[in-house]
Amino acid sequence: MKSFVTLSLLATALAAPTPTLHGRQFDLSSLLSGSSSGSSTSTGSSGLSALASLFPTSGSATGSTTGSADTSGSASGSTTGTTTSSTDSSSGLSALSSLFPSSSASTTSSSGSSDGLSVTSNTGCKELTFIFARGTTEMGNMGSVVGPEVASALQSLTGNKVTVQGVDYPADWAGNMDLGASGGPKMASLVKQALSQCPNTKVVLGGYSQGSMVVHNAASSLSAGQIQAAVLFGDPLKMTSVGKLASSKVKEFCATGDPVCENGVNVMAHLSYGSDAQTAAQFLVSAVGLS
């Protein structure tokens, strides 16, 4: 369970206290006992109780904020599917504290995030609906590492025939222990809302880091026909299926050395997924038959 150990160390580095666990929406406890979570490296055996001991339990913190600035690329070096390539930068886990905004950081343009509100604002029907869950402590409802870039690429590839919606969930450190339960029900609700407003739209999902677990959680409560495809970046549950979606409709991006989705030690790899945005968008467009 190295990915969860890593998330614990990052939480400690940022001094972000976390609340105790609350009920999860679906059972993944079997994944936490000796299961493999990397493309080629198996993780150690551990139960959920062991994971709980890795996180501080006093107080609470939230990472749900709203930002409004545009984003641009992030570090390159990640790969798609199960094939990986090395990233250029390496760093100790302690260095990540300077790379992530803290829960008390500004919610304005300094966060580099952007919001997707097309479903909740009911801005009209388009052929494709992209719903994305950001990573831990990312600002806005789309984050800044990869979400806005995938949305932009989808707009370009489809001729702006896509509705974009971010999941407004806490995205705090405690959520990593909840395996997506803090945002999964909200994402599932957005899927249903999108289909209610636009029955003919094709809904695709995306998630980064903790947001990937949100996708897993949401998909577990949805029927096979409600979502058409998904792209996941730095997914702690990479070896787990995404609800009832066929594996051919899911694309995982896990950079070599990423300590969250692979048994790696390069924390910079976990921030590199912006370079995969175009590939991810092309996959989604192809998966739903728009190309």
Q: Where are the domains of the chain?
A: 2-104+112-287
Average pLDDT of the residues in 251-271:
94
Q: Does the annotation count 53 as an active-site position?
A: no
270 is catalytic: yes
The pLDDT value recorded for residue 117 is 66
Please state the rounded mean pLDDT for residues 6-10.
49
Question: Tokens 């614990």 belong to which residue?
Answer: 8
For residue 95, give Cα distances in angstroms to 8, 132, 252, 265: 14, 27, 26, 12
Separation CA 34–CA 16 (nearest Å): 28
For residues 37-65, average pLDDT:
34
How long is the chain? 291
Is residue 133 predicted with pLDDT exceeding 90?
A: yes
| pLDDT tens per residue across span 188-199 | 999 999 999 999
pTM over 0.75: no
Mean pLDDT of 268-283: 96
Give the active site residue among 144, 152, 209, 220: 209
For residue 135, the one-letter residue type is G
Q: Which of 74, 113, 152, 270 is catalytic?
A: 270
Chain-centroid distance of CA 261 in Å reads 11
Tell me if residue 106 is catalytic: no
Of 168, 258, 275, 276, catalytic: 258
- Hey, what CATH topology would domain 2-104+112-287 get? Rossmann fold (3.40.50)
CA–CA dist 236, 94 (Å, integer) = 19
Q: Is 103's pLDDT higher than 50?
A: no
Q: How confident is the model at residue 90 (pLDDT cuts 50, 70, 90)?
A: very low
Reply yes or no on whether the pLDDT at 288 is more than 60.
yes
